[in-house]
Structure 1
């Protein structure tokens, strides 16, 4: 009641105030919430501006999805109404009003970023329109009860990695080497929490700067080599260090101590998790080998799922590295391979996760709208929660009660300089 009183006060006495205008927009949205065309789906993507390339890739996936369903559902063909947000929250807000009030779409795919999604969430909620955002930002679905998300997240990967290492690989001790960035720190914290939930233990975590190119110090810290003074009881005196090197050169028995430079690493973990991009992985993995950290399972993120990871000469440092992703071009799945073939025939290039997410998001909606007579946004919302048998190219099967994508991630491994499915 107090909130309603303030809303009335602002709209009556300060109609030009931003808060009053927002209240008025929401009021109109509430009135229009029941009016929707079950054949119209809106799209909010950046098709100009700095992210236009990404927006176009997603749109290519959406366009293919519409074409895939034109023939089977000729009488119920879906109309896509595409709006350019230019990656600007204010423009996204203008465009969603058009989609809701003028076009009366029944659902919206997009926006692409968290800032845009947060900027339109209140209007989506007021009009009760399902909105499938493609933003990977953690917690984005909490901004509105009508915001769903179809984008692979750090938490999604962390949970699946924890399950894979503990339950499949029987690994229970992991170290973490992470970048001191928002991405790296957040991923490290989420994985740590999820890994411990499955009974695992984190045996050390060391960070490095975003622009760092040498990793000796954080690696040495993980394995008890830096500072060497922490293992003073194992260190040789200056005299015995000289003797140690002389005897080693002659192949004789060594003194029961080590020169500082020869301390062996203490490897008390079975795997090491590196939540960073493929470029950094190509720098770090050889450094692990250099410091004699061997026989340890390397875990990465979906950012490693690129042929760029394998370029150049890195020896066997990448061999056996594991990571997860929602879309894999070489996946042994009839659904995935059919999508790739159709996409290549239509566009002349192989799709990435962006096109695949667009394709799945729209196909999921069309699957519901084509099988049921739905003319209200509220009814569509119910069906979005209910459907759990979807077979998407990104592993999507449905949405949780928190409106997060439920999917089967694909476990990937580097084997003989190729990225393959683990199982």
Structure 2
């Protein structure tokens, strides 16, 4: 038997690395692909099987299970003081069409391993602990992404979310009914004491710096746009260069500017053109129309706005120079977010207490923790992934790094559950 205090004072990892790894491998069998990845889209029968397996494991660990109206699953381990709000952890188990074994799944299985470890050691926390599986984080089958946590945090309404449809016209509500996860628990109004999410980094920084733990300070703000450029289609031979209205030439200048602007706004700046299509797409016709996407990210809202201002100026100048018309349509806007100081410090303290090499880091991707951070103190723990590769069937992570991240999660949750920090949200 251990007390929470004695567990926090011990330098050992405590968690069962082999059990954690085996849980990840067992889960990865549901939707396993020939290339070693996972295809388990949200609210499919494979997702149902994964949800059933998670729920079974949690019941075997002595948890009670509840499911809310958007399908989020909550596995609760009681604490000695049921009046305290739960300390939560979790992530998602839906994947990209060509996804890997660890994105999202590590956070859920790490949470389960925390509960199993506490059971093994006979530890009773003051506050209840909950592991949550958020519905449709990836957004691959249904848009938008981070759907379940967004409804929980009241960023999206339940009615509008349940009405969203996939490419075959199947609604979220119908899919939940079909797999048996249209729960009865209300989606909002539930107090959260603190929230931690363990995740593979999905980037190369920790591996490059030879660090085991990333102490996540916050997440980059994101602004996405669709850009339409229109010129004039014309014959590639008879039309002189100086009389052309070539939409692709304008687009090429804009692509270069996106890259240049992102380099100029370092640190923590990213700029990407992820999609680009042109019409008519014939080798001897000057392109008359280009559709493209712009993705800008930064940790500072003022500098993010500056990036947008610069690209708008480039677009206007390029289009005037080449005789093009243009339309820039915003499609997503997530402000920069800093996680609560108390949660960040708990992760840093846990890593230091275990003697693990760690560094402060910023998340460039979206995670469920970003929405939960608007409800309660929240933090994230990153571990390295091989080559920084994610959203890919070859996604990989070392068992020892996953175990280390889980051990940090255990300590951070204990600190929160025992009231070892104030729980004040960072400004």
Q: With the length of structure 2 as denominator, give the TM-score of the two structures.
A: 0.26
The one of the two structures with greater contact order (alpha-carbon pairs below 8 A, sep at least 6) is: 2
Q: Bigger radius of gyration, 1 or 2? A: 1
Q: Which structure dedicates a bigger proportion of its chain to helix?
A: 1
